[in-house]
Amino acid sequence: MDPDKRLSRTLKILGVAALSIALLWTALMVISKIKIVVIILFGAVFFAYLVYPAVHFLQTRRFPQWLAILTVYVVLILVVGTAVGFGGPAIASEARNFSANLPNLVRQAHDNLVNANNNVLGAVPLETRQTAANYINNLVGDLQSAAGAVTGKALTIVLSVVSVISGLVIVPILAFYILLDADRLSRGFINLFPATMRNQATLVLQDVDQVLAGFIRGQILVAAFVAISVTVALLLLRIPYALLIGLFAGVVEMIPYVGAFAGAIPAVLIALFTHGVGWALVTVLAFAAIYEIEGHFVAPSIVGKRVGLTALLVVIAILIGAEVGGIMGMFVAVPVAAIIRVMWKRLAYPLEVSAGSAPLPEPTEPKTIVVANN
């Protein structure tokens, strides 16, 4: 390669990197000031991507766009309402029982660790078992203290509940308008660029669309698979709080890698301290089987390779997300990292067209949609 071209390409990449860092820093500063608004917007986009396939299906059946969206909303309300009506009381009952039995579980865990009466735990040095038992006691004590402090802030809790309910109402409304104006929004975004850059902007938008669509819809389906599988497995093993643990495992499954480990911990601990070491090992094997099926069959067929990140980059993204935004940061870290990767690839290698990309549109009339049919 010509040295001048190599130098020009290197400077271009460094410039893109510096610009990306500056934009990311500015975005983080702005987001920290309008955190609630950003969360609601993320939720609206998430919801729009989630329901778009059903909306598009109805549109292909000659439903007007607004009627297709309303029909999907009504069906969702019926499905969610039915699920909450049947499963909500059972999960709430398990949550109350767990809260009431937590001191007994902790006491039992302490006794089983310190006064081990089986060969497995008995082989662990007494000092190590005492340290683990003290750690559990301190952790539960901290949780109870935090719960007491939160209970004392009744007004704050009420305001938080109101904010959550308001968000749950606002998110579908914003998603409705996003779905209704998807074409207009995408055209307006692309028209912000000069005519010579609109082809490239269209490709970036298409790639971002594919990444978000694949990740959001795929993760929801994978999380549902994990929640149902864990619940059924724990019910068969007669592990207490099966519904509660299954719901928790499905939610944390939205965080790649971390979710699988976090979802298994409560089930294994409860099995250990209520049924013994043998049953805990059986529970571990059950979770291992579920996550093997999910990792080798379910996730590849649903999510595929659309995110395009290696395992190392996923872990790094999750760690950065946790540091920047806590739990919420961990949830959005992977799609944000995938979007950054897509933008980097398109800006650093502008002449390359990924396999499967749509033909380049005319610069004056770009056509793409924000929510693609994946």
Instruction: Note the pLDDT of residue 197.
Output: 78
Three-state DSSP string of 50-119: HHHHHHHHHHHCCCCHHHHHHHHHHHHHHHHHHHHHHHHHHHHHHHHHHHHHHHHHHHHHHHHHHCCCCH
Backbone angles phi, psi at 212, to 5 degrees: -65, -45
Among residues 273, 293, 280, 289, which one has the least CA distance to residue 237?
280
- Residue in the structure block whose two tokens are 């996923």: 314
Torsion sign over Cα 77, 166, 99, 318 = positive
pLDDT at 370 over 80: no
Angle formed at CA 283 by CA 277 and CA 287, multiple of 5 degrees: 145
Distance from first CA to last CA of the chain, Å, rounded?
Answer: 39
How far is Cα 102 from Cα 139, in angstroms, rounded to an integer?
12
pLDDT surpassing 70 at residue 99: yes
Q: What mean pLDDT is reported for the chain?
A: 74
- Per residue in 351-361, pLDDT (tens digit) is 554 444 444 33
Identify the pLDDT of residue 314: 76
Q: What is the pLDDT of residue 365?
A: 41
Higher pLDDT among residues 136 and 175, named by residue: 175
HEC-encoded secondary structure of 352-369: CCCCCCCCCCCCCCCCCC
Cα 315 to Cα 42, 212, 251, 255, 312: the distances in Å are 22, 18, 18, 10, 5
Helix, strand, or coil (residue 307): coil
Helical residues (DSSP H) of 115-153, grouped into ranges: 119-122, 126-151
pLDDT in the model for residue 302: 60
Per-residue pLDDT tens digits for 11-48: 777 777 777 777 777 776 776 677 777 778 888 888 88
More confident residue, 142 or 101: 101
Query: What is the structure's pLDDT at 70?
Result: 92
Residues 140 and 111: their CA atoms lie apart, in Å, by: 15
Task: Give the distance, in angstroms, between the CA of residue 302 and the centroid of all CA atoms in the same chain.
Answer: 15
Q: What is the pLDDT of residue 137?
A: 66
Higher pLDDT, 34 or 162: 34
Cα 20 from chain centre: 24
- Alpha-carbon distance 243 to 254, whole Å? 18
| 142 pLDDT higher than 80 | no
Q: pLDDT tens across 56-86, in order?
A: 899 888 889 889 999 999 998 898 888 888 8
**pLDDT at site 71:** 93
Q: For residue 271, is pLDDT > 50?
A: yes
Q: Quick one: average pLDDT of 276-297? A: 84
* pLDDT reported for residue 273: 76
